[in-house]
């Protein structure tokens, strides 16, 4: 499931508590949408990642 878009973010109080980090620390927010074989969206996901625990690598592809 490819990441639809992403952005740099900062932790707010509620999420920072859950992920055992401090508010204001760097974060990564990825928005993902998965589609059925018929093209209908079946999953919408916002995933939050700690910047000090993850590294992301992108593979870009062009569709003709």
- Global model pTM greater than 0.85: no
Q: Which residues in the chain show pLDDT less than 70?
A: 1-12, 60, 64
pLDDT at 10: 61
pLDDT at 42: 92
Q: What is the percent of the chain with per-residue pLDDT over 90, rounded to a whole number?
A: 6
Query: Which one, of 13, 12, 10, lies nearest residue 29 by Cα?
Result: 10
């Amino acid at each position: 499931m490819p990441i639809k878009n992403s952005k740099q973010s900062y932790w707010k109080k509620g999420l920072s508590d859950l992920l055992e980090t401090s508010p204001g620390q760097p974060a990564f927010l990825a928005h993902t949408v998965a589609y059925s074989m018929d093209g209908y969206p079946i999953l919408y996901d916002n995933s939050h990642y700690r910047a000090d625990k993850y590294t992301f690598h992108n593979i870009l592809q062009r569709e003709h």
